[in-house]
Structure 1
Amino acid sequence: MTLDSAVMRFAGVVVLGSALAAHFINPAWIWLTLFAGANMFQASFTRFCPAAIVFKALGVRPGNTFK
């Protein structure tokens, strides 16, 4: 698994998990969904992603996007 796929998988889990939590637990969880979406949007322009930094520190091999 590359850094790019790890970040995309993590973002998908956060979005799906927080949307499910907003539906089944408390509507306030939608804020996490919005935060994840905003983070993905800004990362598409800046190539800066905090999750990529964490995954890189954990030893996930580099991809093409987050260097």
Structure 2
Amino acid sequence: MSMGRAVQVFAGAMILVSVLLTEFVSQHFLWFTVFIGFNLIQSAFTGFCPATRVFKALGMKSGGVS
């Protein structure tokens, strides 16, 4: 799996988790969803994504076959 695909899977999973937390735990978890959306937007403009740094630190290669 490529780094880009891993980031997409991670972002999608975090959105789903935040929606579930909002529904079943507290409405305040909606801010977690807002944070994820903001991070996706700023990443598109700046090219900086904190998740890629975490994945690189865990040993994932930036290139590769998807």
Q: Same fold (TM over 0.5)?
A: yes
Task: Tell me which moved more, 37-46 or 52-61.
Answer: 52-61
- The whole-number CA distance in structure 2 between the counterparts of 1:8 and 1:2 is 10
CA RMSD of aligned residues (A): 0.9
Aligned residues: 63
Per-residue CA deviation, residues 6-35 of structure 1 (Å, 9 max, x unaligned), is 111111111110011101111001111000
3-state SS of 1:62 partner:
coil
In structure 1, list runs of 5 or more residues that go unmatched: none
Deviation at 1:49, TM superposition (A): 0.6
TM-score (norm 1): 0.88
What's the counterpart of residue 36 of structure 1? 36
User: Could you tell me the percent identity over the aligned residues?
Assistant: 46
